Amino acid sequence: MNVKEFPPLPTSSRERAFALFDALKKKDLIPDGFIEEMTDLVANQYDPSNGARIVARAWTDPAFYERLMSDSIAAVVEMGYIGAQGEYPVPVVDTPTVKNVIVCSLCSCTNWPVLGLAPEWYKSFEFRARLVREGREVLQELGTELPPDMNVQVWDTTAESRYFVLPMRPAGSEGMTEEELRKLVTKDVLIGVALPNVA
């Protein structure tokens, strides 16, 4: 049998990444601090705690919730979480019968300023291929069992809208402060694969 094999590369991912860096550096095309600032922005400033603040406020401040529904860009600007890959933020609102979940089947598009960068599993071929077709099953495998009358609605991030899930406020959270509520809103809750739970 004459099968074309992909030849094993003689170098590592790390060597190839730094080779590109070195080639650009040699031509003096990388300004001082550019890499460091970009990396700090996406790795530290963009964080799911930002999204948790938006959700906890929406749960506790009806006027803010209304602003978020009527003009989400202005509401997220007000919170200070507009940035690269998050310039048209769209909250998708869970109901007793609809569980919203976000994916980017074509690559990895994510609302960076609100959610932080996409985690590895979100960028995996498995999640990209399966969520749009077997949403309920994927959630179950990840550890989220939905009531039978609740259907999954998958949002495929295929253009410039950048979604985040606004989950229902869980039972048992009635007496919680906004700060306590934020802790219920994890990165997975904002992506939609998990429900907020009062432990």
Partner 1 sequence: MDGFHDLGGRQGFGTVEHTINTESYKPVFKEDWEHLGYSLLFLGVEHLKKFSVDEVRHAVERIEHRLQSATPYFERYVIATASLLVEHGVLTKQELNDALGAEFPLSSPARSKGRAAPQPNRPHFEVDDKVTVRDECVTGHIRVPAYCRGKTGVILHRTSAKWPFPDSIGHGHKDAVLQPTYHVQFTAQELWGSEADGGHVVVDLFESYLDKAEQETGVSDETGAPAANSQPQSVPA
Residue 178 CB, nearest approach to partner 1 (Å) = 20
The yes-or-no answer on residue 104 being catalytic is: yes
The yes-or-no answer on residue 109 being catalytic is: yes
Residue 169 CB, nearest approach to partner 1 (Å) = 16
Based on CB atoms, which residue is closest to partner 1, 60 or 156? 156
Task: Name the active-site residue from 13, 49, 70, 107.
Answer: 107
Closest CA to 43 of 103, 90, 113: 113
Based on CB atoms, which residue is closest to partner 1, 113 or 116? 116
Residue 15 CB, nearest approach to partner 1 (Å) = 6
Based on CB atoms, which residue is closest to partner 1, 60 or 65? 65
Based on CB atoms, which residue is closest to partner 1, 41 or 60? 41
Residue 60 CB, nearest approach to partner 1 (Å) = 19
The yes-or-no answer on residue 108 being catalytic is: yes
Q: CA-based angle 64:102:133, to the nearest 5?
A: 145
List residues with catalytic annotation.
104, 107-109
